[in-house]
């Protein structure tokens, strides 16, 4: 193994990198590993031990709240180049809540162990500031989601979701069940089913087995 295998990568992701001592750099290098998760697997759930800091290399992660009775609320998603800080929540005293994390696509991740990341943030104020700034970024994401969920009508929420997926998929079809969509936008399947019927009556969408086809984007965008 090359001693400073991840130096180039870390210097690109971490604004605090230049402020670390050689020993701190070595520590992070030594406690980092590549991990892979297949599509639709759980990486982390509330009760698990803290996974540490995660850098998304490929794929997509979904960070969500899970209720005792199994309901889910999607907080935000992470894409290649994003860093997951809530998987390292045990490192930061100011984070007192737990989230669940799934890979929603095959994902390759770089995982820095919680213990190593903790030591560096504890010793180095630049690393600490970086971690808390990242947490505050996610705070902003969550506030956005919260406003969606609490204030918007379901028509608007579903329209935003469909428009987002459409933008990502580069086709007119979204391959997701109503059950899955309901989980993503934090509601019940029956509610999604009703709204899709409503949109369908309006000529906006057409449901098919395992997905939804968008027929009229202009009309859909009017709901945004």
Strands (E), 69-190: 72-78, 83-84, 100-112, 173-174
Report how far residue 224's alpha carbon sits from residue 220's, in angstroms, rounded to the nearest whole number. 7
Does 47 sit near a second copy (CB under 8 A)? Answer: no
**Residues 78/84, Cβ–Cβ less than 8 Å:** yes
Does 68 sit near a second copy (CB under 8 A)? Answer: yes
Backbone angles phi, psi at 156, to 5 degrees: -65, -40
Does 122 sit near a second copy (CB under 8 A)? Answer: no
Residue whose CB is less far from a second copy, 45 or 136: 136
The tokens describing 174, both together, are 């979204």
The tokens describing 64, both together, are 């969500």
Looking only at residues 182 through 211 of this chain, which bind a second copy when binding is defined by CB under 8 A? 186
Report how far residue 43's alpha carbon sits from residue 76's, in angstroms, rounded to the nearest whole number. 15
Residue whose CB is less far from a second copy, 30 or 65: 65
Does 96 sit near a second copy (CB under 8 A)? Answer: yes
Backbone angles phi, psi at 18, to 5 degrees: -65, -15
Q: Which member of 57, 71, 194, 219 binds a second copy (CB under 8 A)?
A: 71
| Among 102-110, 138-146, 171-179, 208-216, the segment contacting a second copy (CB under 8 A) | 138-146
Q: Using CB under 8 A as the criterion, which residues of the chain lie in contact with a second copy when the complex forms?
A: 65, 67-69, 71, 73, 92, 94-97, 125-126, 128-129, 132-140, 142-144, 146-147, 149-151, 186
């Amino acid at each position: 193994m090359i001693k400073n295998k991840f130096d180039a990568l870390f210097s690109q992701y971490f604004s605090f990198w230049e402020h670390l001592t050689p020993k701190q750099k070595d520590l992070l290098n030594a406690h980092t590993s590549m991990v892979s998760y297949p599509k639709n697997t759980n990486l982390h759930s509330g009760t698990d031990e803290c996974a540490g800091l995660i850098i998304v290399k490929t794929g997509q992660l979904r960070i969500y709240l899970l209720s005792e009775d199994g309901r889910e609320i999607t907080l935000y998603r992470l894409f290649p180049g994003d860093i997951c800080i809530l998987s390292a929540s045990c490192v930061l005293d100011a984070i007192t809540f737990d989230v669940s994390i799934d890979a929603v696509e095959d994902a390759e991740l770089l995982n820095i162990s919680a213990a190593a990341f903790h030591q560096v943030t504890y010793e180095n104020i630049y690393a600490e500031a970086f971690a808390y700034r990242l947490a505050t970024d996610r705070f902003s994401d969550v506030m956005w989601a919260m406003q969606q969920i609490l204030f918007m009508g379901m028509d608007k929420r579903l329209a935003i979701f469909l428009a987002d997926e459409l933008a990502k998929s580069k086709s007119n079809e979204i391959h997701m069940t109503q059950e899955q969509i309901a989980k993503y936008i934090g509601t019940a399947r029956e509610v999604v089913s009703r709204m899709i019927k409503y949109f369908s009556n309006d000529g906006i969408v057409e449901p098919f087995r395992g997905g939804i086809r968008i027929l009229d984007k202009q009309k859909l965008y009017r709901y945004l």
